[in-house]
């Protein structure tokens, strides 16, 4: 099949390459000419496990371009950010992609929307654009992606998939297309239910992380260790509490729940969970303040720019919020993330980032932070805040650090008293 994929980001590019490897001829389209040029020079615009190998194998069946060509099928995989003032989905990129397809669309072709959208968007927003030229038969489906950065390819192949078809024929045609690389089960429903399902999935996770975060705040007040408590609660066969942390980042969990809330006043737990998770950087800011309160002109070092461990993705990362909070308190802030390249202000070595610092704040749970040897660092004051509870705290204390861990109340584990 000749397939045109619009949007060559974290979802569109891996999807294009999987389809190309399955024997389809894929034209990947992006409005960002840097991405197009890079791909046509055989370079990948971002890192993701096994993507490199797949790119090499897909080469003959894949080409990048800045413009859409008439194809048997089109997949829209463009971003749908949250419009910051109104807290509603910004559908501009979906509109541009749909407009571009409408120009070349002919009778009997397939259009798939993968981008995450508020319920009703396929029917009321995308389809009217596609039908503008008076086309009789369009096979249309909404097929939300479900892959997690860091395991994108594995999950795209093995996860079950939902297809929200405009009608049965559309759903069957789209199912055939995805069957060329999906090994998970494919379930069929209507477009609006598929849109709703995707948002429910990400909201479920956001609410559960908010619960873990709330437990961590309560545990700090009650002077207990939330990590030990969660571990014990999770011994219950039907309990699975997630992990607290410095806040929820990434392009999905921190945004998609608001697509459910934007048209309804009934979305109460959803908005509350968002509030709790968004307030975690403020809480980390307070922990930092407390740690350096007796230091004149404090300088702190934030470990991790990526929104979660072992990826180089910085979208919506809580680090930026924590940086701003600390700077507004008059602190100097240094940054260190060895996985993130070309970010202004990112120190090239940990030694440089920690030199003369008054507090290290671990924000991202990268595995390689566990290997840090505190003896190698020339800090001005030996203070450590671990917002993910991943370091060997006794080791850090043994070499003279005051250690504070998110979710652990003072009296039991604070280094001053232990
Ligand atoms: N986080 C916690 N505690 C946890 C788990 C995560 O604080 O116990 C934080 C992470 O550090 C990160 C954020 O939450 O900042 C989100 O990370 P994540 O790993 O939960 O999710 P994403 O955004 O990387 O990917 C999610 C996944 N959705 C779900 O798990 C429901 C993925 O399957 C989706 O495909 C993706 O969103 C998407 O594109 O929607």
Using the predicted structure, report yes or no on whether residue 363 has a pLDDT greater than 50: yes
Q: What is the pLDDT of residue 324?
A: 98
pLDDT digits (tens, 9 = 90+) for 287-339: 999 999 999 999 999 999 999 999 999 999 999 999 999 999 999 999 999 99
More confident residue, 416 or 161: 161
- Distances in Å between the Cα of 167 and the Cα atoms of 3, 106, 171, 177 are 21, 18, 6, 16
**Does ligand 1 have an atom closer than 6 angstroms to the CB of 209?**
yes
In contact, 314 and 307? CB cutoff 8 Å:
yes
Name the band, by pLDDT with cuts 50, 70 and 90, for residue 416: very low
Name the band, by pLDDT with cuts 50, 70 and 90, for residue 263: confident
Separation CA 50–CA 101 (nearest Å): 30
In contact, 22 and 33? CB cutoff 8 Å:
no
1: nearest Cα among 138, 142, 180? 180
**Does ligand 1 have an atom closer than 6 angstroms to the CB of 242?**
yes
Residues 11, 16, 19, 21: what is their CA dihedral angle, to the nearest 10 degrees? -120
Burial class (CB in 10 A: 0-12, 13-18, 19+), 303: buried
- Give the other-Cβ count within 10 Å of 162's Cβ: 21
Output the DSSP codes for 72-90. SEEEE-----EETTTTEE-
> Which of 198, 321, 334, 404 is flagged as catalytic?
198
Tokens of residue 380, six digits: 């001005």
DSSP-assigned letter for residue 67: S
Listed in sequence order, the residues at least 6 apart from 53 whose beta carbon sits closer than 8 Å to its beta carbon are none
Q: Hey, whose CA ends up nearest to atom 28 of ligand 1?
A: 202
Name the band, by pLDDT with cuts 50, 70 and 90, for residue 244: very high
Using the predicted structure, report yes or no on whether residue 368 has a pLDDT greater than 60: yes
> Taking the CA of residue 139 as centre, how many other CA atoms within 13 Å lie in the half-sphere pointing to its CB?
19
Separation CA 346–CA 349 (nearest Å): 9
Using the predicted structure, report yes or no on whether residue 418 has a pLDDT greater than 80: no
The closest-lying atom of ligand 1 relative to the alpha carbon of residue 10 is 39
Separation CA 188–CA 24 (nearest Å): 23
Separation CA 140–CA 132 (nearest Å): 15
**Does ligand 1 have an atom closer than 6 angstroms to the CB of 215?**
no
Report H helices in 89-190: 92-104, 121, 127-130, 152-158, 168-178
Query: Which of the residue ranges 89-93, 132-136, 390-394 would you say has the lowest mean pLDDT?
Result: 132-136
- Distances in Å between the Cα of 333 and the Cα atoms of 96, 354, 359 are 39, 10, 10
Tokens of residue 214, six digits: 């709330």
3-state secondary structure of 335: strand
Separation CA 97–CA 266 (nearest Å): 32
Q: What is the pLDDT of residue 59?
A: 82
- Distances in Å between the Cα of 394 and the Cα atoms of 189, 372, 379, 397, 404 are 53, 14, 18, 5, 11
Using the predicted structure, report yes or no on whether residue 4 has a pLDDT greater than 70: yes
For strands 139-142 and 332-336, give the pairing.
unpaired
Mean pLDDT of the chain: 96
pTM of the predicted model over 0.75: yes
Sign of CA dihedral 203, 206, 211, 217: negative
In contact, 115 and 77? CB cutoff 8 Å:
yes
Tell me how far apart the terminal alpha carbons of the chain are, to the nearest angstrom.
66
In contact, 94 and 76? CB cutoff 8 Å:
yes
In contact, 212 and 244? CB cutoff 8 Å:
yes
Q: What is the pLDDT of residue 33?
A: 97
For strands 161-165 and 139-142, give the pairing.
antiparallel
> Which of 4, 143, 252, 359 is flagged as catalytic?
252
177: nearest Cα among 253, 111, 97, 86? 111
Q: What is the pLDDT of residue 411?
A: 57
Establish whether 198 is a catalytic residue: yes
The closest-lying atom of ligand 1 relative to the alpha carbon of residue 213 is 7
Establish whether 38 is a catalytic residue: no
Q: What percent of the chain lies above the pLDDT cut of 90? A: 94
Q: How many angstroms is it from 179 CA to the middle of ligand 1?
A: 26
Burial class (CB in 10 A: 0-12, 13-18, 19+), 4: buried
Q: How many angstroms is it from 338 CA to the middle of ligand 1?
A: 21
């Amino acid at each position: 099949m000749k397939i045109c994929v619009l949007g060559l980001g974290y979802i569109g590019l891996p999807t294009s390459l999987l389809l190309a490897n399955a024997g389809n001829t894929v034209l990947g389209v992006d409005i960002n000419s840097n991405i197009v040029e890079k791909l046509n020079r055989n370079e990948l615009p971002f890192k993701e496990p096994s993507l490199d190998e797949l790119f090499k194998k897909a080469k003959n069946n894949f080409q990048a371009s800045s413009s859409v060509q008439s194809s048997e099928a089109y997949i829209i995989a463009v971003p749908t950010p949250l419009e910051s003032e109104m807290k509603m989905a910004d559908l501009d990129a979906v509109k541009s992609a749909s407009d571009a397809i409408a120009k070349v669309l002919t009778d009997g072709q397939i259009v798939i929307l993968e981008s995450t959208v508020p319920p009703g968007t396929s029917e009321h927003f995308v389809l009217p654009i596609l039908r503008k030229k008076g086309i009789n038969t369009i096979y249309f489906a909404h097929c939300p992606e479900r892959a997690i950065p860091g395991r994108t390819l594995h999950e795209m192949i093995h996860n079950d998939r939902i297809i929200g078809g405009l009608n049965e024929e559309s759903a069957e045609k789209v199912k055939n297309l995805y069957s060329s690389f999906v090994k998970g089960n494919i379930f069929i429903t209507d477009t609006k239910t598929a849109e709703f399902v995707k948002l429910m999935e990400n909201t479920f996770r956001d609410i559960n992380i908010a619960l873990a975060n709330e437990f961590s705040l309560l545990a700090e007040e009650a002077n207990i260790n939330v990590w030990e408590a969660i571990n014990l609660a999770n011994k219950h066969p039907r309990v699975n509490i997630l992990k607290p942390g410095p806040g929820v980042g990434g392009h999905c969990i921190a945004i998609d729940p608001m697509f459910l809330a934007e048209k309804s006043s009934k979305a109460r737990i959803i908005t509350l969970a968002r509030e709790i998770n968004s307030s975690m950087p403020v809480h980390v800011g307070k922990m930092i303040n407390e740690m350096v309160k007796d230091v004149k002109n404090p300088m702190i070092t934030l470990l991790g720019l990526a929104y979660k461990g072992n990826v180089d993705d910085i979208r919506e990362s809580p680090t930026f919020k924590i940086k701003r909070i600390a700077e507004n308190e008059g602190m100097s802030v240094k940054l260190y993330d060895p996985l993130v390249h070309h970010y202004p202000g990112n120190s090239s070595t940990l030694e440089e980032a920690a030199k003369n610092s008054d507090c290290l704040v671990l924000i991202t749970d990268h595995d390689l932070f566990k290997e840090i040897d505190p003896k190698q660092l020339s800090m001005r004051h030996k203070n450590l805040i671990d917002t993910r509870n991943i370091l060997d705290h006794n080791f850090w204390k043994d070499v003279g650090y005051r250690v504070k861990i998110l979710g652990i109340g003072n009296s039991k584990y604070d280094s001053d008293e232990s």
